[in-house]
Amino acid sequence: MDNQKLSALQLNILHYLYRFRFLTSLQLQKLLIHKTIRLTNYHLQLLTSKNYIGKHYTRSLGLANLPAVYYLTSGSIQILEQQDNIDKRALKRIYREKIRSQQFIAHTSFLAEYFLHLSQESEKTKHTLHFFTKTDLLAHPYMPHPLPDAYFARVDIAGNTKRYFVEVVEDSSPRFALRKRVQEYCDYIDDGKFEEATNHPFPAILFICPGYGSMIYLKKHIARIYEETPLDQVAIYLATREGAFSGHWEKVEAEDE
């Protein structure tokens, strides 16, 4: 199976894994709009057998029903570097994908699940969704660094657009790291790079927290400094992971005196 023999569907699988890093077979089924998982698995098996992709599969007692998680392997590099919109810097990391931590895999898989949620929601509300993963954002040097987990825009049927940066907070994130990330956004807002490069207003910032503990801390910290920093120029929303899917967002306001 060389590049000439890869079907468009199989190239799509490689491209999705390039963008999202780690995807379950069920997520790929949804992305590919396959009616059955058997068709998805057929193509995944072919790509795995030729070392284009690898997989993590847990056979531990009680976890046997979890779907396999797929990622790119070194065999995919030669194919991907011939495709459009591929960043060579992103291809170098493929050599280390096999040894990524479980937390990293879960983090990227969550982003894929959130994208699928947004896609389904946008279809229902007749919005057009433009979603950029961290890999996609490598091509845009005006984006904040470190890069956000995702950036997306939703356009309604009247042509109105709302834009968002997405930050997914981990359980293991220490509080000083959360404060540092907020400060990085303050500096980025103050710099004006986004507006200058795009001629668009600054996006809203969505913090997705693992639970209420980190959410409450972030909300209090941002509210405390809100009016003393450039944060008061943008909308900031927080939710738990469950809340992000159910639409339960809390907007940050300045702390009451």
Closest CA to 207 of 194, 219, 221, 198: 219
Task: Supply the pLDDT for residue 247.
Answer: 94
Rounded mean pLDDT of 41-49? Answer: 96
Per-residue pLDDT reduced to its tens digit, 196-225? 999 999 999 999 999 999 999 999 999 999
Per-residue pLDDT at 17 exceeds 70:
yes
pLDDT of residue 206: 98
Rounded to the nearest 10 degrees, how much is the dihedral formed by the CA atoms of 152, 155, 159, 164?
A: -40
Q: What is the pLDDT of residue 56?
A: 87
Number of residues that this document lists for the chain: 257
* pLDDT confidence tier of residue 57, bands split at 50, 70 and 90: confident
Chain-centre distance of CA 12, in angstroms? Answer: 17
User: Hey, what amino acid is at 39?
Assistant: L
| Phi, psi (deg, nearest 5) at residue 133 | -80, 175
DSSP 142: T
Asked if residue 65 has pLDDT above 80, the reply is: no
- Which of 164-168, 194-198, 223-227 has the lowest average pLDDT? 223-227
- Show the domains of the chain with their CATH numbers: 3-98 (1.10.10.10), 106-251 (3.40.91)
- Global pTM? 0.92
pLDDT of residue 151: 98
Q: What is the mean pLDDT of residues 73-99?
A: 94
Tell me the chain's radius of gyration from C-alpha atoms: 20
Residue 5 tokens, joined: 């023999």
Residue 97 has pLDDT above 60, yes or no: yes
Give residues with Cβ within 8 angstroms of 217, minimum separation 6. 175, 178
Q: Which of 11-15, 63-67, 96-100, 183-187 comes out lowest in average pLDDT? A: 63-67
Q: Where are the beta strands (DSSP E) in the chain?
A: 23-24, 53-56, 69-72, 128-133, 150-155, 161-168, 204-209, 236-240, 250-251
Residue 69 has pLDDT above 80, yes or no: yes
pLDDT at 68: 87
